[in-house]
Chain A
Amino acid sequence: MSTIKSLDDLKKIREQALQKQQLKETSGKKEVIVGMGTVGIAAGARETLKAILDMIESENLEDIIVRQTGNIGLDSFEPIVQVVLPGEEKVTYGKVTPEMARRIVQEHVVDGKVVTEYRIES
């Protein structure tokens, strides 16, 4: 491994993250899933996912799990983003641009309010 970033740095990061986790009573993780099949990738799914990761990093949003998955099976609505909040049903969004993804993260994942105009039936 020739990385300049060391695992010692990472150990400190881990301790920070654990301390924060202990302060909060975690009510379960929020999950954001982006479809990453061939059609999704061609439609810009990687950029949509990147917008989500960048927002989590820049706004320091904790306790969100971001996952990518193969084809969700709704080709004509790619890129697809799904949000699962603890204890709630999965919500599917279609044709999600990076701009829309940021709004979904803010309004749905952070504030808990479904962005109905982007929602599709899955």
Chain B
Amino acid sequence: MRELALHILDIAENSISAGATRVKITIEENFSDDLLIIKIEDNGKGMDAETVARITDPFVTSRTTRKVGLGIPFFKAAAEACQGTFAIQSEPGLGTRVEASFQHSHIDRMPLGDIISTLMTLIIGTPEVHWIFEYQVDEEVFIFDDEPIKQTLEGVSLSEPIVMKFIREALIEGIQSTSQPLEEVSQRI
């Protein structure tokens, strides 16, 4: 995967599989500290410490009773290749929080990529989950919460073309108004 947005989608799929009814995705671009931070927090069924260790380093841990995917190790490797950090905190019955940080200007940092398509996939494709997206660029913050949208729609499907258009445009507007013009960003790096 050559986009952080694809990793975000993959991690969020784990949250859905864990039975989460609420998932919050946070992207923080902090140019003053040269950091890009990604967080995915859910209220799914959580994991014990052993499971967390196994899914994080599947080749290091010995127990192989259950098949584990490679999504998390890939994401961890991507962060660590960019002077970054990676952490999973999980509590059985409470939920899981995955956090990865990257050196923003690192030459190997993959681009954020098509975050709109990742969010549309999750919001439209899994309407039973309450999605919250927070995008922060230095002091500017954009928060997208799909709960008021679903309440307003009352029974009209998110897959209806005019509804989809509304959500997509709301996301684009919010992200664009938060991002800095490119010239300004490159000066600050």
Name A residues whose Cβ lies closer than 8 Å to a Cβ of B. 1-5, 7, 9-11, 13-14, 16-18, 21, 29, 34, 36-38, 41-42, 46-47, 49-50, 53, 56-57, 59-62, 64-70
How many Å from the CB of B11 to the closest CB on chain A?
A: 10
Is B137 among interface residues, defined by CB-CB distance under 8 A? no
Q: Complex: how many Å from CA A50 to CA B114?
A: 11
B162 proximity list for chain A (CB < 8 A): 13, 16-17
Decide yes or no: A38 and B70 within 8 Å by CB, A3-B144, A10-B153 being known contacts.
yes
Shortest Cβ gap from B140 to chain A (Å):
9
Is chain B's interface secondary structure helix, strand, loop, or mixed overall? helix
Q: Whose C-beta in chain B lies nearest to the C-beta of A29?
A: B157
Q: Tell me which of B148, B165, B168 contacts A7 (CB under 8 A).
A: B148
* Chain A residues closer than 8 Å to B159, beta-carbon distance: 56, 64-66
Report chain B residues within 8 Å CB of A2: 141-143, 174, 177
A62 touches B160 (CB 8 A): yes
Contact A65 B169 (CB under 8 A): no
Question: Which residue of chain A lies nearest to B142 when distances are taken between CB atoms in the complex?
Answer: A2
User: By the criterion CB–CB under 8 Å, are B143 and A68 in contact?
Assistant: no
**Residue in contact with A36 in the complex, picked from B1, B13, B174, B177, CB distance below 8 Å:** B13
Interfacial residues, chain B to chain A (CB-CB below 8 A): 1, 6, 9-10, 13, 16-17, 69-71, 114, 117-118, 120-122, 124-126, 141-145, 148-149, 152-154, 156-157, 159-166, 168-170, 173-174, 177
Give the distance to chain B from A79, nearest Cβ to Cβ, in Å: 12
Instruction: Give the docked Cα–Cα distance between A49 and B118 (Å).
Output: 10
| Docked complex Cα distance between A61 and B154 (Å) | 20
- Which 8 residue pairs across A and B have the least CB separation, nearest first? A68-B125, A5-B170, A38-B71, A17-B156, A50-B117, A38-B69, A66-B159, A57-B161
Q: Looking at A3, A13, A37, which has the most chain B CB atoms within 10 Å of its CB? A: A3
Q: Are A70 and B152 in contact (CB under 8 A)?
A: no
Closest to B164 in A: A57
Residues of B within 8 A of A53 (CB): 120, 124, 164
Contact status B173-A3, CB under 8 Å? yes
The answer to whether B125 and A14 touch across the interface, beta carbons within 8 angstroms, is no
Contact partner of A68 (CB less than 8 A), chosen from B71, B121, B157, is B121
- B residues less than 8 Å from A37 (CB atoms): 13, 69
Contact B121–A1 (Cβ < 8 Å): no
A66-B157 Cα distance, complex, nearest whole Å:
10
Point out the residue from B10, B125, B170 that lies within 8 Å of A38, measured CB to CB: B10
Q: Contact: A5 with B166, CB < 8 Å?
A: yes
**Chain A residues with Cβ under 8 A from B118's Cβ?**
46
